Amino acid sequence: RKEVEQDPGPFNVPEGATVAFNCTYSNSASQSFFWYRQDCRKEPKLLMSVYSSGNEDGRFTAQLNRASQYISLLIRDSKLSDSATYLCVVNSGHSGAGSYQLTFGKGTKLSVIP
């Protein structure tokens, strides 16, 4: 099983739609979880951290299910500017020096269509 697995998409949705991305991770010791956004040929940028209680930032909601080792990202009222690749990222949770390594999913591509 891959460490961090995402549906590669692409997801093509109309403006105003709600879209959800899912991600599973294999390391049950993982401690920190993130969603990054990457525009074409640009660097990944942190979108939001994911907390056990779930968290919301405007139109974006992230949720974590530790028992199922599952992370989700919900985008409401999609905008054209949301078109990008969304990377699920997990702290590998190893002890010692490896504690701060991040493992990146391959990303889910979103295209929001006018």
Partner 1 sequence: DADVTQTPRNRITKTGKRIMLECSQTKGHDRMYWYRQDPGLGLRLIYYSFDVKDINKGEISDGYSVSRQAQAKFSLSLESAIPNQTALYFCATSDRDRGPYEQFFGPGTRLTVL
Residues that bind partner 1 (CB under 8 A): 31-32, 34, 41-46, 49, 87, 91, 97, 100-102, 104-107
DSSP per residue over 57-99, as a string? ETTEEEEEETTTTEEEEEE-S--GGG-EEEEEEEE---SGGGG
Q: Give the nearer residue to partner 1 in terms of CB position, either 42 or 79.
A: 42
In whole angstroms, how close is the CB of 104 to partner 1 at the nearest point?
4
In whole angstroms, how close is the CB of 24 to partner 1 at the nearest point?
15
Q: Say which amino acid occupies 57.
A: D
